[in-house]
Amino acid sequence: MSSSTNRQQNTERPSITVISLLTLAVVAISIALVFGYPTSDPEADRAPANLFGLRRFAPTFWASGSRRAVQSVSGLERAQSTQKSRTADGLNMKTPVYFLSHGGPNIMYDLEHPAYKELTKIGREITTKVKPRAVVVFSAHWQAGADTVQVNTAEMTELIYDFYGFPSHYYDEKYPNVGSREVATKVLDAFKQAGIKAEGVKRGLDHGVWASFKCAFEPESNPLNVPIVQVSLFNSDDPKQHYRLGEAVSNLREENILIIVSGMAVHNLRDLRFTFGNPRPMPYTVSFDEALKDAVTTPPAERSQALADLLKRGDARQAHPTFDHLLPIHVGAGAAGDDLAKRLWTLKEGSMSWAQYRFGELASGNSAL
């Protein structure tokens, strides 16, 4: 009986050992799946989209909004990888600066409007040729203090429907996007170094950003897929103050961060009632649009003063009853530094001008618009 029992125990020990080893293997594999596989790339190790291996589970378990956010952060990883490879090839990574005339939210639906088509072309140029790792955007629709600006530090941002009197479906529009605390901190640090008062806040994107971005970076056909950090203007009409605001963030361009400023070349809502059904431009639309081109394309050493002088023109308050839609181009010109500007396209329409500008050139080998 004792001998039989011993043989049974000896037979069971290997089985228990095998089971234990199998259990440990299953646990090890489970840990690897949850926490992600190790990688030799330190950037990938730090990438937020791969934190705890969540990217593997996102397509199955996350809601569609969060899934798009993960895709956007993944876009940041791809852009960072592209930036490193281009730097290794000795290419200049300084991004250009764009001024977008954004129009009203109705432009999202007017697919045959020439401005919609032009915004689409610019957006595709940005996603296929510039390939930034993040976007910092200044909009006419956010003014903070007279001597203080604000920076959106939120990583998940809602949309602000800051327009009135439009059909109800306008207020159901969505635009998938994520912010970046890292990039927002870079902006705040840049302002601090320049002696500009700035504070971080959590805020949504206003339509000066998301409506034009929905044309330029249509989520299905040409997604931007990188973080967007919005920055306010000053609550002032001082053109040189805004020029310095752009100068303060100019160095971000060397980190493959794209600066976009969003306003309108000519913007007189009060006179829209005179131009409904008649796209013929108002006289001041023509004169100011051309004066703006002359100022923006002035040699960089003289550009700040040339742009400041625009506000003193006799037609300035006709073209811009308030200067909030004009001042973003002063920010863009400041951010451009010594880079020359080019008017990519314009359309003088009633009491509006849709002029679009780019400061700086695309990387060598990329054709311009």
Instruction: Give per-residue pLDDT as tens, 95-118.
Output: 999 999 999 999 999 999 999 999
Q: Same structural domain for residues 59 and 100? A: no
- Work out the burial of residue 37: count CB atoms within 10 Å of its CB; fewer than 13 is exposed, 13-18 middle, 19 or more buried: exposed
pLDDT reading at 264 higher than 90:
yes
Residue 260, amino acid: I
Q: Same structural domain for residues 103 and 160? A: yes
User: What distance in Å separates the CA atoms of residue 255 and residue 269, rounded to the nearest whole number?
Assistant: 38
CB neighbours of 365 closer than 8 A, spacing ≥ 6? none
Residue 207 lies in a domain: yes
Q: Domain boundary at 44, 69, 87, which?
A: 87
Q: Same structural domain for residues 126 and 158? A: yes
Q: For residue 96, give both structure tokens.
A: 């250009």
Q: Same structural domain for residues 216 and 350? A: yes
Q: Same structural domain for residues 185 and 321? A: yes
pLDDT reading at 3 higher than 60:
no
Residue 368 lies in a domain: no
Q: At what angle do helices 327-336 and 239-249 cross, to 10 degrees?
A: 40
Average pLDDT over residues 139-154: 98
Residue 331 lies in a domain: yes
User: What distance in Å separates the CA atoms of residue 282 and residue 352, rounded to the nearest whole number?
Assistant: 8
Average pLDDT over residues 14-32: 44
Q: Same structural domain for residues 169 and 107? A: yes
Residue 150, φ and ψ in degrees, nearest 5: -125, 150
Determine the 3-state secondary structure of 280 from DSSP: coil
Query: What pLDDT, on the 0 to 100 scale, is given for residue 276?
Result: 84
Query: What pLDDT, on the 0 to 100 scale, is given for residue 126?
Result: 98
- Which secondary structure element, helix H or strand E, spans residue 138, and what is its range? strand 134-143
Q: Same structural domain for residues 71 and 102? A: no
Mean pLDDT of the chain: 82
- Which secondary structure element, helix H or strand E, spans residue 13, and what is its range? helix 2-35
Q: Domain boundary at 87, 119, 153, which?
A: 87
Residue 54 lies in a domain: yes
Q: Same structural domain for residues 78 and 115? A: no
CB neighbours of 225 closer than 8 A, spacing ≥ 6? 71, 72, 74, 75, 76, 78, 127
Q: Same structural domain for residues 76 and 107? A: no
SS3 content of the chain, % helix, strand, coil (to 5): 50, 15, 35
Q: Same structural domain for residues 47 and 98? A: no
Residue 74 lies in a domain: yes
**Residue 208: CATH number of its domain:** 3.40.830.10
Determine the 3-state secondary structure of 207 from DSSP: helix
User: What distance in Å separates the CA atoms of residue 134 and residue 131, rounded to the nearest whole number?
Assistant: 9
Q: Same structural domain for residues 51 and 119? A: no
Q: At what angle do helices 300-310 and 327-336 cross, to 10 degrees?
A: 170
Domain that holds residue 26: 2-87
Q: Same structural domain for residues 174 and 313? A: yes
Residue 122 lies in a domain: yes
Residue 369 lies in a domain: no
Residue 162 lies in a domain: yes
Q: Domain boundary at 87, 111, 128, which?
A: 87
Count of domains observed in the chain: 2
pTM for the model stands at 0.77
Task: Tell me the pLDDT band of 80, cut-offs 50, 70 and 90.
Answer: very low
Query: What pLDDT, on the 0 to 100 scale, is given for residue 43?
Result: 35
